[in-house]
Structure 1
Amino acid sequence: MKKNPREHLRVTEQDTDRVTRLTIPPQPSEAHHSFYEDFTLQGIRVDRFQPGSISCSFTVPPRLTDRNGNMAVGAIANLVDEIGATVVHEKDAPMNVSVDMSIAYVSTAKLNDELEISAKLLGGKGFVKGTLVVLKNKTTGEVIAEGRHSLFCRTRSRI
């Protein structure tokens, strides 16, 4: 039996309770990042970083799960965006801008699952660079999602 879409999207009392329990720390005026980045990236541990690749660990927190206890697809998309951008970031260079993202959601991650996130630079042409970001369950090795991310990257000025 199919569910009515309106019923599926209805905000429950449990959903309301989860949102009201969120604590949002004040952002200092000199912060160079957003609440959005803090909300998603909090708890990521960088295991290895070298030019062109990064490897991180992450435990799925309650704030990034849907009402079924699965990691929200929007949180996965944000991780692909943020971690992919980290691979091409250059100190003192203008901000990189996402121009395309394609994500294959292969499996689900549950609350408290330990994830391994790896990203690598695929290459670039002109001002566009591409990255590949893979999220895996650290215990089982099962791929959760694989994202390809293209960014417009300006190089820093040599003046």
Structure 2
Amino acid sequence: MEKAREFLQLTHEELEAQSKLTLPDPKFCFYEHFSVRGLRVDRVEPGLIVCTFKVPPRLTDRTGKLATGAIVNLIDEVGGAVAHTEGLANNVSVDMSISCLSTANVDDELEITSRLLGRKGGYSGTVVLLRNKATGELVAEGRHSLFGRQASKM
């Protein structure tokens, strides 16, 4: 145990660097801000969200294409948004199935369409399509299952 404690001990330089870090407001989620910054909501209807997203360099892989992890994250975020019920905690992703059919480059504009397929109790199902806005080519399709608390009937 003592060896582990010594190993995890920060050096003087590490402590100094740590003291210079500025942390965001606790209400602010860095991860979501980093991944969906620039997402523009174009249309919202019951069971439907349509967004536009310009691919930023920060979400690309070494070849300059939209990273697979970024695609997964966009499907998770926009799919979760369409299944969200106001006044309840966010749903938790239970299962995702994603087909990557094409690629997107830096500065490509994507249209992201999320539809609520259905809801049974606390379970929701969504489908999310990422399409290149200029060419109409389907970049990815995701099916997303979520679970969350349901509204009280009392």
Bigger Rg, structure 1 or 2: 2
Q: Within the alignment, does 1:52 sit opposite 2:71 as a pair?
A: no
Q: Note the aligned Cα RMSD (angstroms).
A: 1.6
Q: Is the 8 A contact 1:93 1:157 kept in 2?
A: no
Q: Within the alignment, does 1:78 sit opposite 2:73 as a pair?
A: yes
Structure 1 residues 45-124: aligned runs within 5 Å: 45-124=40-119
Q: Which segments of 5 or more consecutive residues in structure 2 lack a partner in the other structure?
A: 1-20
Q: Is the 8 A contact 1:58 1:115 kept in 2?
A: yes
Give the TM-score taking structure 2 as reference length: 0.82
Structure 1 residue ranges, 4+ long, deviating more than 3 angstroms after superposition: 156-159
Q: Which segments of 5 or more consecutive residues in structure 1 lack a partner in the other structure?
A: 1-23
Determine the C-alpha separation between the residues in 2 that align with 1:124 and 1:47.
Answer: 24
Give the direction of change, closer, same or farther, for the CA distance of 1:63–1:129 in structure 2 (3 Å limit): same
Aligned residues between the structures: 134
Give the TM-score taking structure 1 as reference length: 0.80
- In the alignment, residue 56 of structure 1 is paired with which amino acid? C
Q: Within the alignment, does 1:155 sit opposite 2:150 as a pair?
A: yes
Report the identity percentage.
55
Q: Is the 8 A contact 1:127 1:154 kept in 2?
A: yes
Paired residue for 1:27, among 24, 44, 64? Answer: 24
3-state secondary structure, aligned to 1:139:
coil
